[in-house]
């Protein structure tokens, strides 16, 4: 990839010993207006090293760097060295790259020979897959695609919440009040009702808690009845989850959830004992973390039963032994920050050097605007309902724009679901945000539909042109400001993917796609494409195709479709 920042950084490196090429590249900025140049290097950080004022440094650097090759002019301004690049060469390198690499444009082999586990989604059996779960699911899926695109061997794990004392409660509730047919007809809502009823009743009859504990112990001891019921709850719940995953086009390589570790925790407890990390506390066993200013890690309760944390320890050790990962990423809400800090510390105290490769990718909460979504029964919003609502609403929007639209069902699914996905990936993870339909489904805000529409618009132009797009064009015709703007954004694709990967922040890719859509729409508005001048038409069509391909590749990294008509 002909990378202008690279070329400029190489030139600067010859004059600046104290910074690496990478550091110089990272410092390069795009000046606020085009007359100033295409790229600017700020000299402020060098003032200390050179013991000179930044504008003096800028003057000296500008004088010493010769404008040649891709660089057409070098000029100082304030504390900056401004660079002008050869626009025609920019156009040629970007367009040739995209049009030859096609769906591989943006990919790299950076992660070759490295394995990354991305754990995400991980809903709880017999509990609704609610709107809050969408964040982990969508962020995780996008991170998977981002890692995969850079050559990492990437493994997707759904750490299902399918074990724990709550299953004792559910068994008790089902045995008391359950109806098999009702559950089968409507699994999760019915199981949820039973669970809620258990809690209401247990307030009046606390002995039910003991009963529940006893049933969980039976489950841990592989009692036949307990296991059968548990298996059935799990199967029925998974049927519902699969419908959501189908809507989102999401898959996993492993569904090894918490129950998978039921026979692997004994070994962990032994290891903790051998390393003298376990302490007794009121009959429970803990790892004391006071030295690290954290509450103790609870390993077994006073009745001997294991906990969520115990299973996370067992899972991490199992994954290291099974996949020998270089990085294991946990996409889980920030409410669980402490939980992850605690057990990452325990892994470290156990002497596993790979503790440093465990990464908790947290995220903020989703609030719903008042009246945003209808709920089935009770107050929980089911994700499946939300997605179906998105599809319905999108169908209405499409038909209102174009009553004769073809294939509406399919497009409404791609756009409606895509809108929700895009919205989820629009902000930096950690931010809490409020979900609103208007903001999500708008065709002209910074939204999924807007980007997909831009892609469809490119497709429409290319269809209408009725000719092959070629790279054999006059690149001088793609040097005006609008074209250069589009090309510069396209050229930054890989850099943005890598940045998103390093920060585990898919929203960086979202931002890239929006910048590209905006730059392209500006170009589209002011530069007619299907003109009589054949040379000009060919050049502009190549730019349209390069944009289209980059949008498609970007959307796919977010887990979205790129519809060709809307």
Site of interaction with ligand ARG (CB under 6 A): 119, 122-124, 159, 161, 312, 330, 332
Question: How many other β-carbons are positioned within 10 Å of the β-carbon of residue 404?
Answer: 6
Nearest alpha carbon to residue 426 among 518, 496, 507:
507
Strand-pairing partners, residue 287, are 278, 297
Nearer to ligand ARG, 25 or 319 (CB): 319
Nearest alpha carbon to residue 482 among 435, 434, 518:
518
The secondary element (H helix, E strand) that includes residue 301 is none
In the complex, minimum distance from the CB of residue 140 to ligand ARG, in angstroms, rounded to a whole number: 10
Please state whether beta strands 366-368 and 433-435 pair in parallel, antiparallel, or not at all (unpaired): parallel
In the complex, minimum distance from the CB of residue 343 to ligand ARG, in angstroms, rounded to a whole number: 9
Nearer to ligand ARG, 89 or 124 (CB): 124
In 3-state terms, the chain is what percent helix, strand and coil (to 5)?
A: 60, 10, 30
Nearer to ligand ARG, 115 or 166 (CB): 166
In the complex, minimum distance from the CB of residue 218 to ligand ARG, in angstroms, rounded to a whole number: 22
Give backbone dihedrals phi and psi of 2, rounded to 5 degrees, phi first: -70, 110
The secondary element (H helix, E strand) that includes residue 318 is helix 308-323
Give residues with Cβ within 8 angstroms of 375, minimum separation 6: 381, 382, 385
CA 217, 222, 223, 225 torsion: positive or negative? positive
Terminal Cα-to-Cα distance of the chain (whole angstroms): 33
By annotation, the residues acting in catalysis are 127, 130, 133
Nearer to ligand ARG, 70 or 424 (CB): 424
In the complex, minimum distance from the CB of residue 124 to ligand ARG, in angstroms, rounded to a whole number: 5
Nearer to ligand ARG, 330 or 344 (CB): 330
Residue nearest ligand ARG, CB atom distance: 161
Q: What gap in Å lies between CA 299 and CA 302, rounded to an integer?
A: 10
In the complex, minimum distance from the CB of residue 312 to ligand ARG, in angstroms, rounded to a whole number: 5
The distance between the two most distant Cα atoms of the chain, rounded to a whole number of Å, is 86
In the complex, minimum distance from the CB of residue 309 to ligand ARG, in angstroms, rounded to a whole number: 8
What does R_g of the chain's alpha carbons equal in angstroms? 28
Nearer to ligand ARG, 257 or 506 (CB): 257
Q: What gap in Å lies between CA 481 and CA 341, rounded to an integer?
A: 49
Rounded to the nearest 10 degrees, the angle between the axes of helix 224-248 and helix 383-401 is 20
The two three-digit tokens of residue 557, written as one number: 């990294």
**SS3 at position 549:** helix
In the complex, minimum distance from the CB of residue 141 to ligand ARG, in angstroms, rounded to a whole number: 15
The two three-digit tokens of residue 13, written as one number: 């490196």
Question: How many other β-carbons are positioned within 10 Å of the β-carbon of residue 356?
Answer: 11
The two three-digit tokens of residue 42, written as one number: 């700020």
Nearer to ligand ARG, 262 or 442 (CB): 262
Nearer to ligand ARG, 342 or 492 (CB): 342
Nearer to ligand ARG, 76 or 123 (CB): 123
In the complex, minimum distance from the CB of residue 472 to ligand ARG, in angstroms, rounded to a whole number: 53
Q: What gap in Å lies between CA 79 and CA 401, rounded to an integer?
A: 51
Give residues with Cβ within 8 angstroms of 468, minimum separation 6: none
C-alpha distances in angstroms, 113 versus 326, 357, 369? 9, 16, 45
Q: Determine contact, residues 349/277, Cβ cutoff 8 Å.
A: yes
In the complex, minimum distance from the CB of residue 431 to ligand ARG, in angstroms, rounded to a whole number: 20
């Amino acid at each position: 990839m002909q990378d202008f920042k690279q070329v400029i950084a190489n030139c600067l490196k010859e004059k600046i010993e104290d910074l690496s090429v990478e550091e110089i590249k990272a410092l390069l900025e795009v000046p606020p207006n085009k007359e100033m140049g295409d790229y600017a290097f700020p000299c402020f950080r060098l003032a200390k090293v050179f013991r000179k004022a930044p504008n003096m440094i800028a003057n000296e650097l500008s004088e010493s760097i010769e404008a040649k090759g891709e660089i057409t002019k070098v000029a100082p301004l304030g504390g900056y060295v401004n660079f002008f690049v050869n626009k025609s060469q920019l156009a040629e390198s970007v367009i040739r790259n995209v049009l030859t690499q096609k769906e591989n444009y943006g990919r790299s082999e950076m992660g070759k020979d490295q394995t990354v586990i991305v754990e995400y989604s991980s809903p709880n059996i017999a509990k609704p897959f609610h709107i809050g779960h969408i964040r982990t699911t969508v962020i995780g899926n996008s991170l998977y695609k981002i890692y995969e695109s850079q050559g990492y061997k990437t493994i997707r794990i759904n750490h299902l919440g399918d074990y724990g004392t709550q299953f004792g409660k559910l068994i008790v509730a089902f045995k008391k009040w359950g109806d098999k047919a009702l559950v089968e007809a409507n699994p999760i809502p019915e199981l949820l009702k039973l669970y809620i009823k258990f809690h209401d009743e247990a307030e009046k009859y606390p002995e039910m808690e003991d009963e529940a504990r006893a049933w969980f112990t039976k489950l841990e001891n592989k009692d036949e009845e307990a296991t059968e019921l548990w298996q059935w709850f799990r199967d029925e719940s998974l049927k519902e989850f699969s419908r959501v995953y189908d809507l989102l086009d999401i898959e996993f390589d492993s569904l090894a959830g918490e129950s998978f570790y039921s026979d692997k925790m004994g070994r962990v407890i032994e290891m903790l004992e051998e390393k003298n990390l376990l302490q007794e506390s009121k009959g429970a066993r803990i790892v004391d973390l006071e030295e690290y200013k954290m509450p103790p890690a609870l390993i077994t309760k006073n009745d001997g039963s294991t906990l969520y944390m115990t299973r996370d320890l067992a899972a991490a050790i199992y994954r290291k032994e099974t996949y020998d990962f270089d990085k294991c990423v946990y996409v889980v809400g920030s409410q669980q920050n402490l939980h992850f800090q605690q057990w990452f510390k325990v892994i470290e105290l156990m002497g596993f050097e790979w503790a440093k490769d465990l990464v908790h990718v947290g995220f903020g909460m989703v609030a719903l605007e008042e009246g945003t979504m209808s709920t089935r029964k009770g107050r929980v919003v089911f994700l499946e309902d939300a997605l179906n609502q998105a599809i319905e609403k999108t169908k209405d929007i499409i038909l209102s724009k174009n009553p004769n639209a073809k294939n509406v069902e399919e497009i409404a699914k791609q756009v409606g679901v895509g809108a929700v996905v895009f919205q989820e990936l629009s902000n930096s993870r950690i931010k809490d945000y409020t979900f609103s339909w208007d903001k999500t489904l708008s065709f002209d805000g910074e939204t999924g539909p807007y980007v997909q529409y831009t892609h469809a618009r490119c497709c429409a132009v290319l269809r209408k042109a009725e000719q092959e797009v070629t790279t054999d064009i006059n690149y001088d015709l793609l040097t005006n400001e609008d074209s250069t703007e589009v090309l510069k954004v396209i050229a930054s694709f890989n850099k943005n993917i890598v940045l998103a990967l390093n920060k585990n922040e898919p929203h960086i890719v979202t931002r890239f796609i929006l910048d590209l859509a905006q730059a392209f729409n500006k170009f589209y508005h002011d530069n007619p494409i299907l003109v009589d001048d054949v040379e000009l038409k060919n050049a502009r069509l190549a730019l349209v195709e390069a944009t289209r391909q980059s949008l498609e590749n970007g959307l796919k990294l977010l887990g979205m479709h790129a519809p060709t008509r809307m």
